[in-house]
Structure 1
């Protein structure tokens, strides 16, 4: 399981996040997603720690804490949902309604 960390400053690095969570135990992995087109941070990340007890301690201490001028949102990450493609529902799809005059 991993921890979701939201409302991050866009200047946060993986090392910054690792250092904050290291106070609560061993950090196994840090991931900061970026926008595909711009390669800019998306303002949230994921942290994986060695034990559930370490994760729980970090969540309890850091959820709602102010860090780098922002109030953090920290909780257990939810499993990623499968995204199914829908016909014509995205950009470029022909889902216009016919108008009758």
Structure 2
């Protein structure tokens, strides 16, 4: 399943994001979209996870969560999703700086 993420803090690297999604299952591929001119993150990206249930669990836990002070939007990627057409907060909790997640790293 392909997952779309937006609202990523600019300092987040692909290796860190791969590790975060890896807490939920195997990550097949991951890509943070970068500006062609500057090489800086554009604040969104895609993750592909081969197991749909693990991907859905990642979406449930991360959507609407706090990631280094940014509220992130995490959803199943849609080929026809116009940029900026996000969803609402589904009440997920993902607080990279500490919080009440069940994963001990956070």
- The two structures share one fold, judged by TM-score above 0.5: yes
Secondary structure of the residue aligned to 1:79 is coil
Aligned to 1:56: 56
C-alpha displacement of 1:80: 5.4
TM-score, scaled to structure 1: 0.75
Aligned to 2:3: 3
**Distance in structure 2 (CA, Å) of the matches to 1:49 and 1:65:** 20
Two-structure CA RMSD over aligned residues (Å) = 1.3
TM-score, scaled to structure 2: 0.72
**Distance in structure 1 (CA, Å) of the matches to 2:16 and 2:45:** 12
Task: Say whether residues 1:70 and 2:78 are aligned partners.
Answer: no
Long gaps (5+) in structure 1: 82-101
Aligned length: 81
Aligned to 1:35: 35
Which 4+ residue blocks in structure 1 deviate beyond 3 angstroms? Answer: none
Secondary structure of the residue aligned to 1:43 is strand
Bigger CA radius of gyration = 1
**Distance in structure 1 (CA, Å) of the matches to 2:40 and 2:72:** 19
Long gaps (5+) in structure 2: 82-106
Q: Deviation per CA, 1:46-85: give whole Å up to 9, x if none.
A: 011121101100000000111111111000111158xxxx
Secondary structure of the residue aligned to 1:61 is helix
